[in-house]
Amino acid sequence: MSVDARPRLPLRPFSRAARADAADTSRRAPWPLVGAGLFIAFLALLPLAYLVIRALGSESDVVGFLLRPRTVGAVAATLALGALVGAGTVALGVPIAWLTTRTDLPGKRAWAVLTLVPLALPSYVVGFAFLAFFGPRGSLQGLLAPLGVERLPSIGGLFGAVLVLTLVSFPYVALATRAALLRLDPAVEESARLLGDRRMTVFRRVTLPVLVPAIAAGALLAVLYALSDFGAVSLLQFDSLSRAIYMQYGASFDRSLAAALALVLVGLTVAITWGEARLRARAGTYAASTRRRPTVVRLGRWRWPSLAFLTLVVGLALVVPVGTVGWWLVRGLAQGEPLRLVIDVALDTFMVGAVAAVLAVILSVPVALLAARYRSRRSHFVESAAYAGYALPGIVVALAMVFLATRTLPVLYQTLALLVAVYAVRFMPQALGGLRSSLGTAGPRLEEAGRTLGDGPVRAFAMLTVPYLRPAIVGGAALVFLTVVKELPLALLLAPIGFETLATEIWDAASSGFYARAAGPASLLLLVSIGTVALLLRSEDRAR
């Protein structure tokens, strides 16, 4: 028979008997789980609910206020900030993820670590460092002075805010993309090549589309970070909503207007979360259990541009902030700044962070279970509520909680208990993400095996699923700890009088212009951040 003469095929060789559809039976969630989930959703939405009540109960002209050019400008600025940071983190994170997983880049592992560390740097520390380095009379200008450079253009405003927030949040995208790349079965890309596509085409038609949900998930975290950020935007004097809310809160006695502004921001966040949730539904189905490692791409003449790109990113995101803080620390020590104070403040801060991290993980378990195991409208609501709580700007949560506490629970007002509880609820989504996707891959079979061997449902979960989830739990807890330790606005407004955290110390000093005094706690925070990253990496290794 000639190879080219292929007849049309009338036969239908696949009989229907061969079909065995494993139908997905949707199960009902047990009521304690639903109860816990709804309670957590209630906690997460509490500040939001308060804001709505405040805004509705306002005696001022809320609508008129929202239509003021200044308000509209703040909304536009926030949208621009979110979009640019999202785009920036994708532009940095995706190539970095690809370079550090798929290529023969020299020092791949080291680059992977170095590009992860900026995630740990507090935005206001980086903002302060950029001001002190690139600013009109900063270190760079000092270095360039001999060349006749009198004054550098301002680093503040939209450009500075986007730069700083992109540099501290691109690791979200890099991490998510890396994980998705490692999960992608190499045979998928090989299939595409055998079907006639060149390597670049395969990347465009297969690899990238498969990665999109992961990239989007990472970018969403970065955008939420940017929208919620208070420290960097206010230091760099960029009028995003978060700063506008703070100004409104500080400037007038009518806090309902601040509440109205905050609601606008919440609206933006809900829209983003909704879009991402649609993508995420797809992402869950993309992961393959693969044993094979993908073939390594030889960079060839792209090797040096790749190295230059990574050097630039790490230089800006890591070397400049660390170097600048270090320089001010040395100056401060030379001027006799006391270190003792820094240590006391540090211990207080770590205690708050640790308790909040444990609490956040505990809170995230029912939400993750509902979202991964019992997909329903209710689960979706609980998860969205958690993310909505996370998306609320810290300054607004602080505002809402101050009022709620003073009006309904004065006993709690300005207590550490309230501060820790608010932290745990607010940052729970950071523990939730990893836990949810791990639960997605663990599947209920593990527990079902335990049930057949005589375990009750709780024991099966504790003995079988929890150990499987340990990397996710450790990673989530570390992430929450890291975030709480460097959190600024809540600590500013909710901490008991006289209780300082490293963040508030830095803030006070930096905003008063005492850069040398800020450098002590700042360098400690940098050290802690880097240590936490090391912890994260270890748990990632163990998971592999």
Partner 1 sequence: MSEALAVRVRGLRRTFGDVVAVDAVDLDVRPGEMLTVLGPSGCGKTTVLRLIAGLDTPDAGTIEIGGRRVAGSGAVVPPERRRVGMVFQDVALFPHLSVHDNIGYGLRRDPAREVRIRELLELVDLPDAAERMPHQLSGGMQQRVAVARAMAPRPDVVLLDEPFSSLDAALRTQLRGDVREILRAAGAAAVFVTHDQDEALTLGDRMAVMVRGRVEQVAPPEVVYGEPATPFVATFVGTSNLVHGELRDGVAHTRFGQVQIVGEVRRQEGARGLVVLRPEHLDLREVPDGPADAGAWRVLRRRFTGTEILYEVAAADDARLWVEAGHAVRRLRVGDAVALRLREVETVMFPMTHGGLEAPRSLAQRRPDLPDAPDRFEVERVAEDEDHLAHADPAIAVDEGRDLRG
Distance in angstroms between the alpha carbons of the first and the last residue of the chain: 50
Tell me how many residues contact partner 1 (CB under 8 A): 44
> Any contact of residue 68 with partner 1 (CB under 8 A)?
no
Distances from the Cα of 146 to the Cα of 136, 151, 320, angstroms: 15, 12, 20
Residues 225-264, one symbol each (x = binds partner 1 by CB under 8 A, - = not), give: ----------------------------------------
* Contact window for partner 1 (CB under 8 A) among 69-77, 192-200, 225-233, 523-531: 192-200
At its nearest, how many Å lie between partner 1 and the CB of residue 285? 4
Q: What gap in Å lies between CA 141 and CA 151, rounded to an integer? A: 7
| Per-residue H/E/C for 457-480 | HHHHHHHHHHHHHHHHHHHHHHHH
> Any contact of residue 209 with partner 1 (CB under 8 A)?
yes
> Any contact of residue 275 with partner 1 (CB under 8 A)?
no
> Any contact of residue 210 with partner 1 (CB under 8 A)?
yes
Q: Candidates 75, 192, 258, 268: give the one binding partner 1 (CB under 8 A).
A: 192
At its nearest, how many Å lie between partner 1 and the CB of residue 165? 30
State residue 257 phi and psi, 5-degree precision: -70, -40
> Any contact of residue 200 with partner 1 (CB under 8 A)?
no
Half-sphere exposure of 31 (CA within 13 A, CB side): 0
Q: What gap in Å lies between CA 401 and CA 407, rounded to an integer? A: 10
> Any contact of residue 11 with partner 1 (CB under 8 A)?
yes
> Any contact of residue 541 with partner 1 (CB under 8 A)?
no
At its nearest, how many Å lie between partner 1 and the CB of residue 282? 7
Q: Cα 10 to the chain's mean position, in Å?
A: 55
Residues 446-485, one symbol each (x = binds partner 1 by CB under 8 A, - = not), give: ----------------------------------------
Residues 13-52, one symbol each (x = binds partner 1 by CB under 8 A, - = not), give: xxxxxxxxxx------------------------------
Torsion on CA atoms 111, 114, 115, 120, rounded to nearest 10: 160
Q: Candidates 87, 158, 185, 463: give the one binding partner 1 (CB under 8 A).
A: 185
Residue partners of 247: CB distance under 8 A and separation at least 6: none
463 with 450: CB under 8 angstroms? yes
Q: Give the footprint of partner 1 on residues 289-328 (CB under 8 A).
A: 289-290, 295
Q: What gap in Å lies between CA 139 and CA 147, rounded to an integer? A: 14
State residue 427 phi and psi, 5-degree precision: -100, 5
Q: What gap in Å lies between CA 161 and CA 234, rounded to an integer? A: 9
In terms of CB distance, is 161 or 442 closer to partner 1? 442
> Any contact of residue 190 with partner 1 (CB under 8 A)?
yes
| Per-residue H/E/C for 79-146 | HHHHHHHHHHHHHHHHHHHHHHHHECCCCHHHHHHHCCHHHHCCHHHHHHHHHHHHCCCCHHHHHHHH
* Contact window for partner 1 (CB under 8 A) among 10-18, 297-305, 422-430, 436-444: 10-18
Tell me which residues touch partner 1 (CB under 8 A): 1-3, 5-9, 11-22, 185, 187-188, 190-198, 205-206, 209-210, 212, 282, 285-286, 288-290, 295
